[in-house]
Structures are given as C-alpha cells and as structure tokens.
Structure 1
Amino acid sequence: MKYVIIGGVAAGMSAAMEIVRTDKKADITVLERGADYSYGQCGLPYVINGLVTSTESVIARSVETFRNKYGIDARIHTEVTDIDASSQTVRYRDQKSEQEITYDRLLIATGADPVRPEWDGINLAGIHCLKTIPNTEAIMADLSEEVKQVTIVGGGYIGLEMAEVFTSLGKKVRLIQRGDQLASIFDNEMAKLIEEEALKHNVEVTLAEEVIGFSGSQRVQKVITDKAQYNADLVLISAGVKPNTEFIVNSNIQCNEAGAIRVNAYMQSSVANIYAAGDCATDYHMIKQLEDYIPLGTTANKQGRIAGANMAGNPITFKGIVGTSILKFFDITLARTGLTEAEATKLQIPYQTISRKSTDHAGYYPDANPLHIKLLYHRKTNLLLGGQVISKKGADKRIDVLATALYNRMTVQELQDLDLSYAPPYNSVWDPIQQISRRT
C-alpha cells in the first residue's frame, strides 16, 4: 500500500507512525513544505524568552530519524500545488522542479497558517507572525536592544503568551484587540480577570480598536488603528489562523466556511481514499453536536493517529472534542472547556450560569490562592455545558475534571458525587467544582 501524507508536523507524523505500527509493508512518503518535522509549536513562545533552550528542543523526531529508523521517505521544502483525485496523483514542487506522485491512500495534514491581513504597510520589516520554527528564529533575530516598544495585534492565546514573553525580555508591550475584551473564548467577567493581570504587569491594553495599517521607512514605526496611531519598534500579528487548504480549491474535497476539510469520524474526506487531520480539518464538538473548527495540538495528534490507523486498515473513530484549552498568563492560569455564554446563546440552548470565588486548596493551609470558577448548565436538564477556571494554581486539575464530566454527559449535580482527591495542601474537603455545584 502506497501512502502519501501532506504535512510533516503533528497530525501528519502521528499518522505516519500509526501506519508504520499497523502496516509492516507500508510505503510512506511525506511531503513537507518546511524544513522541520514533528515539533511542538506550542513551545515556541518559550524558546523566544529562553525558558526552552532552543528550537531543537521542541523537535520530537528529526527528519533523519523518520528516514533512517522508520524507512519513511520524508521530504522537505516540498510544497503541494494540486491533487487529482481521479488519477490519485499529487502534484508538488521542490527546490529543483515540479513533479507528481501517485497514492493509494492520501492524508492531508497541512495545518493552519497565521492570518495576515492585507493592511497597508504589512510588508515592512519588523512585522512578524508566530507559527513555525523559522517564524520563531526571525523574531529572536529581530529582538535587538533597539526594540523597546512591542505591539501585539490580537488578544487571543498567542497574543497573551507573547505579551508575557516580551515583558519578560524587558520590552514595553501594548496589546491591541478589536473586540471589547481579551480572550474571546472566555465570558466577559472572566476576561476582566485576564485584563487585570495584564495591567498588573504593565501591559497596555487597547480594546475596541481595529488595526488598519502600519507606517515607517522600510521598518515599522507606527501601528495605525481606526482611532489612533501608536509607536512600535516591533509588531506581532496574532489575528488567528486559517486552514492551509488553498491548494485543494480545484478538487471536489468539501470544506466548511472557514476552509477546513470536512471529515467523518474515520477522518475520511468527501473524496474516496483521501483523509484529513489536524488544523486543516474539522472537529466534531460533542456539546454542540455539530461540526466545528478548534485547531489545537492535542486534537491534531489524536486525529492524526486515528487517520493513520484507518488508512492502514484498522478502523477506529474520533469521538470528538469538548473544547478544552489552557494557558499560562504571567502569574495565573486560564482554562476553559465546553461552551461559553456566547456559544450557548448562538446555539439557542437554554442555560444557567453560576460563579464562585474559592481557593485552590484548604483555606486554613498556608498560601491558599484565589480560584475563580464559572459553570454553565442546561436550564431544563441540568446537563453540564461548560466551565471556566482562572487561578494561580489548580486550574488545570479542575478543568480536566470538568472536561471529563462533559465527555460523559454528567449533570451539574452529579459533580458532587465524584470521588476527588483531598488533602489540605491540594484541596478543600469539597473541591471547588463540587462546592459550586451544590449551589445549583
């Protein structure tokens, strides 16, 4: 069986290794447009401020390992330009020429690219995005002592992480967000806690302003919004991502409105023998009970493994996501799962909310930290719909409990029955999520 995989990072190489384990006679070719394979993109911000020693540290397996140890034809600097499903052919160009390769089973695992709007002055030096190892190295090379003021466009996860990174490097940081709150995947009252943390660390937060361009002589000097102009020595654009699927526009592969490839539970696309996984593919959201698009590394690795198993003849299914994510932001942790109020409202789901400020461990034990928790549940059935937790410590434990409860379709009252760990240095005798559930 001849397998071709487009994309050599999370989903692509998870699939490749599953094929290696399942089909001992597999002929596997991977086409990667960059030079790096199988690396942790989520670790790249921490390379920039030195918490992670180098970009090599985030690479799980090198190109040479895939070639020499696993017998995979792992190619680099190879960009796919077209797919012909009728002849099962992939056309691509490398550094030498344009070529084509045939397949029996094809996986599209091309990930997502940063959104880089066509703003005036967008190509000035000093304007960056962060998604790849080359992006990371370009930012590091550009962070000279002359760079004093950094402006970040976008207050999502990457924007928040990089605000902390640049601040730790002694830069003055401004965050510009076109919406009226940071971190739109949180509800407004939780987002206010995030803004307070930013201001506490001298990050200037500019809300409800939309960037329209940049100015400068060769290098960026100002960021121009619809309301003002701001000095900037370096700009990071963190305006979201889009699926890297432009090369399939001439195929019959179905995509959603965001450009993500529609897949079923076996990671099959709408075209025979073509699969998709990772940040270029859709997810099934178990709470929404709808197709969704939430590009995360955890999902990419799971989908890649499942795609590889199915391609190699071992049918297993992707059960879906509940929308769980977590982020360190200065001294606090931001965590969420399930639905926000905005999502529940959009879906016309009748819901109730309840919020509580507790502590991450027993209040009488030294150094207890505030823990802010919010739950959403169905007004009629009491099924848990979502949760958000912000705290200095303990948010990770609680959000994973809530994610597990969502996966198992528990009611908010059933949280009280969970046998959760307790000792004063770690918890109260009633965990905060059980404390809050008793008030519903």
Structure 2
Amino acid sequence: MKYVIIGGDAAGMSAAMQLLKHDLSAEITILEQGAVYSYAQCGMPYVINGVVKSVNDLVVRSVETYRNKFGMDARVHHQVKKVDTEEKLVSGRNVKTGESFCIRYDKLLTASGGSSFIPNWKGVDLQGVYSVKTLADVEAIMKKVENGIEDVTIVGGGYVGLEMAESFRLLGKRVRILIRSRQVAKTFDEEMAKLIEEEAERHGIEILYEEVLEEIIGEHFVTSVRTNKRTYETDVVLVAAGLRPNTEFLKETGIHLAKNGAIYVNEWMETNVVDVYAAGDCAMQYNRITQVDEYTPLGTHANKQGRVAGLNMAGKHRAFKGITGTSILKFMDLALGKTGLSDREAFAAGIAYLSMIVRSKTHASYYPNARSLTVKLTFRREDGLLLGGQVIGKAGVDKRIDVLSTALFNEMTVEELEDLDLSYAPPFNSTWDPIQSAARKAVAKLEDK
C-alpha cells in the first residue's frame, strides 16, 4: 500500500507511526514544505525568552530518524501544488531546487497544517515584522533580540499574543498589545478577562483597546506603527492574528472545505473523497457540546486526529470522539484555563444558560501558601447540564480545568459534578474542591430559577 502524507509535523507523523506499526508492507512518503519534522510549536515562546535553552530542544525526531530508523521516504522542501483525486496523484515542486515532482498514492493524508494570518498592511514586508509559527520564525526573532530592541508591538490579544507578550516582557522589553475589540482573550467571559487585564497591568504590559493597525512605518526596518488612533514608535511588530489552513492546493479537488479553507472530515478522518483523509490544523474538529464542526487548531487535536487517521488508513477501526475546547495558558504569574462554552458562546449557539462564579483557594486556607482561584461554570438552564468552565489563578488551574473537561466529555450536570469523589488533603485541596463549590451554588441557582 502506497501512503502519501502532506505535512511532517504533529498530525502527519502521528499518522505515519500508526501506518508503520499496523501495515508492515506500507510504503510511506511524507512531503514537508519546510526543513524540520516533528517539532513542538507550542514551546516556541519559551525558547525566545530563554526558559527553553535551544530551538533544537523542540525537535522531537529528526528527518534522518524517520528515514534511517523507520524507513520512510521523508522529504523536505517539497511544496504540494496540486492533488488529482481521480488519478490519485500529488504534484508540486522542491522549493530549494525548483525541481518538479509527481507521486502516486493509494491513500492520501492531508496534514498540511496552518499558517499565521498576516493582513496586507502597508509596510508588512519591513524587517522587524514577525509571526510565530515555525522554527525559522523563532530564530529570526531571537536574532533581532540579540541585535538589540527595546519596544515591541503585538497585534492580537489571543493566546499567542499573550504568550509572546510575556516572553518579551520577561526579556525586559516594553510591550504593547493592540486589540480591535474591547476585551483581551475573547474566549473568556468579560469578568474572567478582567483578571487577565489586571495581570498585564501589574507587569507593565500595555493593552490598547479598539486600536486597529493601519500602517507599519520605516524604510528597511520597522520604526513605528500607525493605528486608527495614533502612531507608536516600535522596534518589532509581532502579528498574532490567528491561523489559516494550508489547503490552497485542494480547491480544485471537490474536497469539501469550510469557508476558511479547513477540510471537513468524518469521525474516521475521511474527507468526502474516497481514500483521502485529513487531520490537524488543516482540518475541522467536531465539538461535542455544540454538536457542530468548528476550526480549533491545537497541538493536542492534531496528534489525536493524526493517530486516528493513521489507524483508519491502515484498516483499523477507530473514531475521533471530538473536542470540548479545552485549553490552558501561562500568562505571567497566572494560569488561564478554559473548557467548553463561555456565556458568550452559549448565547451565540442559541442555548439558554445560567452561570456561576466563585472565588476560592487552591487548598485549605489554614495550610501555608493557599492561592486565590476564580472558577466560573456555565450550565444549561433547563437541566443543569454543564456547558463550560473557566478557571484562573496562580496554581491548581490545570487540575480543575481537566476535571471540568472530563465532566463535559461525559455530559455531566452540575449536580453530578458536585457528587464527584475528588482528592483531598490540606496541602492539595479544601474539603470542597473549588469547582464543586461552584457546582453547589449552581445547583442552588437552578432550584431558585
């Protein structure tokens, strides 16, 4: 069986390893446009600020490992330009040599990932304008930092924008974040986002609301930016305006694409075209709560989808069970966790909801170093079905958000959440875990409605 995989990172290589394991006669060709396989994109901000010592620490397996140890035809600098699903051919060119290639497949996996979205501003090609998606991006930013910078402007207040704001601030740089709307981190509700804003202020990170970048100014290098309100001198512009799927080469194939270009797949990671699969940041994900497909590109999803795709391509029957939208972020001294729907998202989905916020402690208040923890639960008005949770604090966020994600996956109500048998000892928790305290108040609110 001849397998061709487009993309050599999380989804693609998770699939390749399953093919290697379950089809001993597999011929596996991977076409990677870049030069590096299997690297940890989520670790890139921590290389820039020096917490992770080297870019090389982010590489899980080298290209040579896939070639020499696993016997795969792992190619680099191979850009796919066209897929012929009738003749089962993948064609393109080597971006280094300019040489064309054309490869036949029996089964094809598109794991081509996504690219940073960079609007076509005037001055966007100046030196000093960056995104954070590849190891080459990281190396370019680090070189700029080494050459000396003082002021950084970040466009976008989502997860990447906040992570990069932290990185540059830890390096002692002046940092401003430009946000088009009135709220940072819009995946969170306003009350929770306020905690993030206060943390930014405590650490000297400037957040500018309703400021739209209109022009990047300079001759060869960035010297300033102009927004709809004023001009700011700056040395670096970091664009964190979201991700776009890399699927241009599929537009003439008849493969079903979403408006943003992401690929629709079923639970087996199959597209609507026979023998063509998709996984990772180029694909859609099924949301278990809203029960619709959405585009939520995260490394955890990419690895799971890639593994499921590889199993099914090799003839093993395994379904991708969908997502609950779980994420966590370190921002200065806070951890920011979210799973499921916020109030805003529940409203947009047309779900009648209630919500409850509690401010608690990470563990027993009499035990030293108890930290504040803010928990918000969103639940269905008619029956208390848990819809989502948000947790922000200096410690213990990861534990709580994962419990809430598990509860969402299993379609639990807030009353059932209250009944969970969670671990307790004074150094680790209170007799009532903060999420169960929130659940108790949520149950009371349901009874009073």
Q: Calculate the TM-score normalised by the size of structure 2.
A: 0.97
Measured against aligned partners, the alpha-carbon deviations of 1:223-259 in whole angstroms (never above 9, x if no partner) come to 1111111111111000001111111111111111121
* Residue 51 (structure 2) aligns with: 51
- What does residue range 115-126 of structure 1 map to in structure 2 within 5 Å? 115-126=117-128
Separation in 2, partners of 1:391, 1:427: 14
What's 2:6 paired with?
6
Per-residue deviation at 1:53?
Answer: 1.2
Question: 2: CA distance between counterparts of 1:258 and 1:417?
Answer: 42
Matched length: 440
1:10 and 1:436 map into 2 onto residues whose CA distance is 36
Residue number among 398, 401, 404 corresponding to 1:399 in the alignment: 401
After superposition, residues 99-138 of structure 1 pair within 5 angstroms as 99-138=101-140
Matches within 5 A, 1:28-427: 28-94=28-94, 95-96=96-97, 97-144=99-146, 146-427=148-429
Q: Distance in 2 between matches of 1:53 and 1:74?
A: 27
1: CA distance, partners of 2:37 / 2:437: 45
State the secondary structure of the residue aligned to 1:352: strand
Deviation of 1:145 after TM superposition, in Å, equals 5.2
Mean Cα displacement is larger for which, 91-100 or 282-291? Answer: 91-100
Deviation at 1:93, TM superposition (A): 0.5
d(CA) in 1 for partners of 2:206, 2:438: 34
Report SS of the residue matched to 1:152.
strand
In structure 1, C-alpha distance between the alignment counterparts of 2:101 and 2:39, rounded to whole Å: 27
Distance 1:288 1:326 in 2: 20
1:118-173 Cα shifts (integer Å, max 9, x gaps): 01110011000000100000100111353100111101111100111001111111
Residue aligned with 1:221, SS: strand
CA distance in 1, matches of 2:190, 2:438: 19
- Structure 2 Cα separation of the partners of residues 358 and 99 of structure 1: 60
Distance in 1 separating the partners of 2:246 and 2:182: 29
AA in 2 matched with 1:235: V
Q: Structure 1: which amino acid aligns with 2:262?
A: A
- Distance in 2, Cα, partners of 1:145 & 1:127: 15
Q: C-alpha distance in 1, partners of 2:296/2:10?
A: 15
Runs (4 or more) in structure 1 with deviation over 3 Å come to none
CA distance in 1, matches of 2:112, 2:157: 25
Q: What CA distance in whole angstroms lies between the structure 1 residues aligned with 2:428 and 2:241?
A: 37
Partner SS for 1:87: coil
Could you say if the C-alpha distance between residues 145 and 69 of structure 1 is closer, same or farther in structure 2, counting changes exceeding 3 Å?
Answer: closer
The aligned residue for residue 446 of structure 2 is: none
Q: Distance in 2 between matches of 1:56 and 1:147?
A: 24
Query: Secondary structure of 1:314's match?
Result: coil
Q: Which runs of 5+ in 1 are unaligned?
A: none
Q: State, as a whole percentage, how many aligned pairs show the same letter.
A: 54
How many Å apart are 1:270 and its aligned residue?
1.1
Aligned to 2:25: 25
For the residues of structure 1 that align with 2:211 and 2:359, how far apart are their CA atoms? Answer: 31
RMSD of Structure 2 on Structure 1 (CA): 0.7
Deviations 1:236-292 (A, max 9, x none): 000001111111111111111121000000000111110000000000000011011
- What SS does the aligned partner of 1:144 have? helix
- Of residues 218-227 and 3-12 in structure 1, the stretch that sits farther from structure 2 once superposed is 218-227
Residue deviations 1:200-245, cap 9 Å, x none?
0000110111111111121111111111111111110000011111
> Which amino acid in 2 is paired with 1:160?
L
Code of the aligned partner of 1:232: T
The answer to which of 382-391 and 143-152 deviates more is 143-152
Which runs of no fewer than 5 residues in structure 2 stay unpaired?
A: 443-449
* One-letter amino acid of the counterpart of residue 228, structure 2: D
Task: Please tell me the residue identity of whatever aligns with 1:391.
Answer: G
Kindly indicate whether residue 437 of structure 2 is the aligned counterpart of residue 435 of structure 1: yes
SS at match of 1:121: coil
User: What do the CA deviations read for 1:272-317 (whole angstroms, capped 9, x no partner)?
Assistant: 1100000000000000110111000000000000000000110110
Alpha-carbon displacement from aligned partner over 1:380-420 (angstroms, at most 9, x marks no partner): 02100000000000000000000000000000111111111
**CA separation in 2, counterparts of 1:73 and 1:50?**
34
